[in-house]
Amino acid sequence: MAYRMIHVLIIQLPVPHLDYGVQTGNIPLGAAYLKQAAAQVSRVEVDILPQSIASYLGDAALMDIISEHRPDIVGFTVYCWNLKRSLFLSKKLKESYMPQIVFGGPEITPDNPLIDSQYVDFLVYGEGEAVFLKLLQDQTLWEKGSAAEPAGAIFRDSPSPYLHNVLEPEIDNVMLLETQRGCPYRCGYCYYNKSHAGLTFADESHLIQAVKWALDHDVKELYLLDPSLNVRPGLKDLLKEISLINKSRRLEIISEIRAEAIDAQMADLFAAAGFSWFEIGLQSTNPQALEIMNRPTDTRRFAQGAQLIKERGIVPAVDLIIGLPGDDLQGFSHSVEFVARHNLYDDIQVFPLSVLPGTDFRLNSNKLGLQFDESPPYTLIESPVFSKEDMLLALDYAEVRFDVVMYPMPDLDVSWRHSGDPLKTSPPDIAVQIGKDRYIAKIQLDCERPIPELESLARRLAQPYQIFVHPRLRDPDFIKKALRILSAPNPFTPLEIIFLEPQGTPDTAALMPAVELRRPHFLDQDLRYLFPAEGNRAVLCSLVTQDATHRFTGNMERQIFWWKKNRFPESPDFAELYALDGILIDGAHSDVEIKIWQDRYANRAGDIPFISFADVFMQKRWLLLTAPDDYVAGVLNWVGCRR
Ligand code: SF4
């Protein structure tokens, strides 16, 4: 009797962004461990949706790819940022051909009401490998609906999945390495410590092998996924070994650590091994807040440890949390002053508290009086001593004191044409090549395009995508119709609408109801502090005009000066246009002239207005020159699409 092969596809959807081509960090390491573990099961083939496809495609395009392959089992790695989108795709897949669907990942906890769905057959709590192996071999387990089983032994003895080419590091040129599972601490806001009972450390020989692999494959950055690297037994010996392999320090290593654990010898060893950055959570210096979150911290030793690594050229990235139970505005400002006084804000990160499922804070939220958003990322709205206004004031205080913007607007990219392709009647849509196929990233609405054409485009959209409304298209009803057709099959895909020299000021409030995004979108919640009033954060509107009077100033609106002169803007022009949100350079310049200007200004980009270039290739060059660590060159593969 011939047995049929079972085909499994594992999908990990990214944090949504409004900048196309930005690094998403969406590396499906959990899926890779599952695939590696399943290699021992016969008649099962596990695929992972490639990162470039999972991260840069709109909902409809993703849906079509998955249904075309019709895997028997579809697994989703679920985080707070992709939960609702994963549920949406599950529903669509069930409607399409009824695969078996399994959810796992940090968002899957018994106390999370949002995961209760008729479209998900099975929930895996905590680590995935052991339960996944059973699901592949025992059909009756599916009937139970959920399971949890430790996988420490499998993890300890598994080499890094990169060694078996299960993951592609080339997208971000970053490699993730899990060196330990579990955490001995019990911080009230964190779920990680509950996802694995006790501590399991990966075999040292596997870690050394992985570091060698990273060096052999020219990986730029190795991220040791350790919540607290300091608790690893024999850490100093491991660091000595790594420093011998990474003598040149060509491989940059980054990780997380409790700063109090760092002494001078340890700091020397980190530097010698090639460490360049450490996330060190301080969260608060308020003794009451530290006690309630069960995170005892010796602030004097914390500062000492952070200074020791900083003196050795390792960036200490300190985290602070706004709205912790037991903390108030004054307590938070003391924490800010502590970090400022010790000059530890090189890469400061300030977050509002997220009351995550599975955490002690979620369990005790009533007792603690925490009011939080019901939608991910479950941001604290207010606590008994931290009012809504205090949350905003705290963020303002930190931004001013550290001279940083914690919630920046998306980068400026309003490029819309290919070189030598001036404004003409039918400019081509602009696509990107991802894998074998092309996906539309920039749609031209220069006339009333046929409805079937728009419907076809809607199924091939990149994530995010842009709609350029040209001067010739004036009918607001057609614009609304187009927005509806494009967004309805893509209810989780963020977008930007760019109005090129319209008559009058676009009425975005009238257009917005035509955009059929599922609200609240993750970005609506996650970027709530971008503006004081709540509302849309997933649709950006940009006005590109030669009128320098600043008039497009609402939330999620920005006004760009359309620079069509035959010379480039220089310092006096920047001063004149500084009140606007940027400049689109769209004159009759040759590529050589543009490159010379870009090279002159690239290292001063932070001191001049935001700049974009009309030509997509020149724009790509500018992004890679000015933000090389933020963008993925490999997915900025522009191609024109003739209509
Ligand atoms: S926040 Fe970090 S140190 Fe605290 S329990 Fe979670 S993983 Fe451990």
Identify the residue whose C-alpha is closest to ligand 1 atom 4.
187
- Cis bond upstream, residue 520 (ω within 30): yes
The DSSP code sequence of 34-98 is HHHHHTTSTTEEEEE--HHHHHHB-HHHHHHHHHHH--SEEEEE--TTTHHHHHHHHHHHHHHH-
In ligand 1, the atom with minimum distance to the C-alpha of 189 is 1
The pTM is what? Answer: 0.96
Q: How far apart are the first and last CA of the chain?
A: 52
3-state DSSP assignment of residue 130:
helix
User: CA-CA distance, 187 to 177, in Å (whole number)?
Assistant: 23
- Residue 639 pLDDT > 90: no
Predicted pLDDT at 400: 98
Spatial neighbors of 395 by CB under 8 A, at least 6 apart, are 322, 350, 352, 406, 407, 529
pLDDT category at 167 given cuts 50, 70, 90 is: confident
User: CA-CA distance, 128 to 94, in Å (whole number)?
Assistant: 23
User: CA-CA distance, 515 to 145, in Å (whole number)?
Assistant: 36
Pocket test for ligand 1, best of 228, 278, 280, 282 (most atoms within 8 A of CB): 228
Spatial neighbors of 424 by CB under 8 A, at least 6 apart, are none
Do residues 46 and 34 lie in contact, with contact meaning Cβ atoms separated by under 8 Å? yes
- Residue 1 pLDDT > 90: no
pLDDT category at 536 given cuts 50, 70, 90 is: very high
pLDDT category at 230 given cuts 50, 70, 90 is: confident
User: CA-CA distance, 610 to 601, in Å (whole number)?
Assistant: 11
pLDDT digits (tens, 9 = 90+) for 29-41: 999 999 999 999 9
User: CA-CA distance, 306 to 304, in Å (whole number)?
Assistant: 5
Q: What's the gap in Å between 180 CA and the centre of ligand 1?
A: 13
Quickly tell me which residue has 């035959």 as its tokens: 566
Q: What's the gap in Å between 222 CA and the centre of ligand 1?
A: 20
User: CA 24, 30, 32, 37: dihedral to nearest 10 degrees?
Assistant: 180
Percent residues over pLDDT 70 in the chain: 98
Q: What's the gap in Å between 78 CA and the centre of ligand 1?
A: 19
Identify the DSSP state of 419.
T
pLDDT category at 420 given cuts 50, 70, 90 is: low
- Residue 139 pLDDT > 60: yes
CA 274 vs CA 208, 231, 255: distances in Å: 14, 19, 11
Predicted pLDDT at 624: 96
Q: What's the gap in Å between 534 CA and the centre of ligand 1?
A: 30
User: CA-CA distance, 345 to 136, in Å (whole number)?
Assistant: 48
- Residue 157 pLDDT > 70: yes
- Residue 148 pLDDT > 70: yes
Residue 601 one-letter amino acid: Y
Q: Is the CB of 294 under 6 A from ligand 1?
A: no
Percent residues over pLDDT 90 in the chain: 90
Predicted pLDDT at 356: 97
pLDDT category at 435 given cuts 50, 70, 90 is: confident
The DSSP code sequence of 554-592 is STTEEEEEEE--SS---HHHHHHHTTSS-EEE-SS--HH
Q: What's the gap in Å between 318 CA and the centre of ligand 1?
A: 14
Beta strand ranges found along 122-269 (DSSP E): 122-125, 146-148, 174-177, 180-181, 200-201, 221-224, 252-256
pLDDT average, residue stretch 382-409: 97
Structure tokens of 173? 């040129």
- Residue 228 pLDDT > 90: no
pLDDT digits (tens, 9 = 90+) for 539-557: 999 999 999 999 999 999 9
- Residue 423 pLDDT > 80: no
pLDDT category at 424 given cuts 50, 70, 90 is: low
Beta carbons within 10 angstroms of residue 234's beta carbon? 10
Do residues 498 and 614 lie in contact, with contact meaning Cβ atoms separated by under 8 Å? no
Predicted pLDDT at 357: 96
Predicted pLDDT at 64: 96
* Side-by-side strand order, sheet with 275-283: 174-177, 221-224, 252-256, 275-283, 315-322, 349-352
Predicted pLDDT at 173: 86
- Residue 156 pLDDT > 70: yes
Pocket test for ligand 1, best of 178, 183, 278, 302 (most atoms within 8 A of CB): 183
Which helix (H) or strand (E) is 545 found in, with range?
strand 539-545
pLDDT category at 422 given cuts 50, 70, 90 is: low
User: CA-CA distance, 330 to 546, in Å (whole number)?
Assistant: 46
Q: What's the gap in Å between 37 CA and the centre of ligand 1?
A: 26
User: CA-CA distance, 152 to 149, in Å (whole number)?
Assistant: 9
Quickly tell me which residue has 């300030």 as its tokens: 350
Structure tokens of 576? 């004149």
**Nearest CA to 21 among 598, 616, 640?**
616
- Residue 425 pLDDT > 70: no
CA 575 vs CA 92, 430, 570, 578, 598: distances in Å: 51, 32, 9, 5, 18
pLDDT average, residue stretch 185-191: 94
pLDDT average, residue stretch 404-427: 83
pLDDT average, residue stretch 246-258: 95
Predicted pLDDT at 229: 86
Predicted pLDDT at 227: 80
Burial of 400 (0-12, 13-18, 19+ CB in 10 A): exposed
In ligand 1, the atom with minimum distance to the C-alpha of 258 is 3
* Side-by-side strand order, sheet with 539-545: 611-613, 583-585, 557-563, 539-545, 495-500, 461-469, 437-445, 429-434, 638-641
- Residue 195 pLDDT > 80: no
User: CA 260, 193, 46, 462: dihedral to nearest 10 degrees?
Assistant: -70
- Residue 414 pLDDT > 60: yes
Mean pLDDT across the chain? 95
Predicted pLDDT at 193: 81
Identify the residue whose C-alpha is closest to ligand 1 atom 3.
185
Spatial neighbors of 210 by CB under 8 A, at least 6 apart, are 159, 160, 162, 163, 175, 177, 222
**Nearest CA to 211 among 232, 229, 238, 186?**
238
pLDDT category at 2 given cuts 50, 70, 90 is: low
Point out the least confidently predicted range of 16-20, 119-123, 427-431, 638-642: 638-642
